[in-house]
Amino acid sequence: MANDDIWILGINMTKFGKHPTLDVVDLAADAALAALADGGVTIQDMGVLAAGNLMGAAAGLGQQLQKQIGQTGIPVYNVANACATGATALRTVIMAVKSGECDMGLAVGVEKLSGAGMLGAGFGAAKSEEWTRSGRHGTVSGFEGKLGTDMMPGVFAQVGMEYLHAHPYDGAEFELFARISQKNHFNSTMNPLAAITKDMSVEQIMNEPMIAYPNTRAMCSANSDGAAAAVVVSGAKLRTLSTEQQRRAVKVSASVLTSDPYQEACQILPDVNTLTRRAAIQAYEAAGIGPDDLDLVELHDCFATAELVHYDNLMLCPEGDAVAWFEAGNAHRDGSTPVNVSGGLESKGHPIAATGIANIWEICHHLRGEAGARQIPDAKVGLAHVIGLGSACGVHIMERSGL
């Protein structure tokens, strides 16, 4: 029998940063065991496991993970979906529980990424001075340095500058993006699990090495190692558990995953806007709420430029008004809709497959009232967003337990 309501019972993330003595299985096991303990359950209670990993590509990560936390014979899904890998692993478990296949499951995302350098999306064909027909996309020449770039800093630099071109801004664009980054670096000082917990002034951020204008190093997501895990439970099963488990459980009001709709341009260069807006529309409809109902948002600020455009894509502001919305202070901790109070990817870090679940970890801790110094008072509803180029977008809306 299908389950109508879905809850996160337990959730955990490791500290993001450098873990030279741990491999992906070690990190995944740490997060998984802690998430199970947080929910007051064990691996024997799980009916499904989804394990997300992208860069390390450990063969059969889910099966390897079970060898450390318990081999119970349950179905395992090994998931890879760019930066949306963790969110996709979570959605895989949510769908299994929602379908009635099982009443409880475990989702894990893990990555070893410290020292990885700049990442490319891989949209272009191999570099060549002379075009020759070859491969599946033989009619498309490699575009690196010709039509643009598939390196992440450059892609998202273009995204931000394109937004300001479409919606002209009279101020200093470089300083605008530095102020967005400064907000997140300040927030990181209250997050002990962040890879970087360093407050930085606007001037310091602007004086960092330039990676791809207008993104300096401090405006770029921090490559790091880390893992995050979540236990998903059906509403029917939750009602059989203790009052404390029910009180700490967080309702998943919407779980949405989208990919690119057809557009001629995005056959070559990605469009991060359309699939995000579509995911947001679907999520608000599923949850029965609107952007004004959100108490906080964790969005995919892989670069400072990305955060700006996603204010608009997630409809936190009227279309075209992202700059004015930010400058009014709405995205700050004391604003109408605090954004990235964890420090965001620029400070918290971005171990790719872990990020989608880590963003949800942050939301859950505020809804539980367990976020410590960075707690948003009386938070009841939160949204977590992640986007992976290729492209995939995951949006989850969570609500506080009524107990």
Positions marked catalytic: 83
Q: 3-state secondary structure string, the chain?
A: CCCCCEEEEEEEECCCECCCCCCHHHHHHHHHHHHHHHHCCCHHHCCCEEEECCCCCCCCHHHHHHHHHCCCCCCEEEECECECHHHHHHHHHHHHHHCCCCCEEEEEEEECCCCCCCCECCCCCCCCCCCCCCCCCCCCCCCECCCECCEHHHHHHHHHHHHHHHCCCCCCHHHHHHHHHHHHHHHHCCCCCCCCCCCCCHHHHHCCCEEECCEEHHHECCCCEEEEEEEEEEHHHHCCCCHHHHHHCEEEEEEEEEECCCCCHHHCCCCHHHHHHHHHHHHHHHHCCCHHHCCEEECCCCEHHHHHHHHHHCCCCCCCCHHHHHHCCCCCCCCCCCECCCCHHHHHCCCHHHHHHHHHHHHHHHHHCCCHHHCCCCCCEEEEEEEECCCEEEEEEEEECCC
CA neighbours closer than 13 Å in the CB half-sphere of residue 304: 30
Angle CA(382)–CA(358)–CA(272) in degrees, nearest 5?
Answer: 75
Residue type, position 113, single letter = L
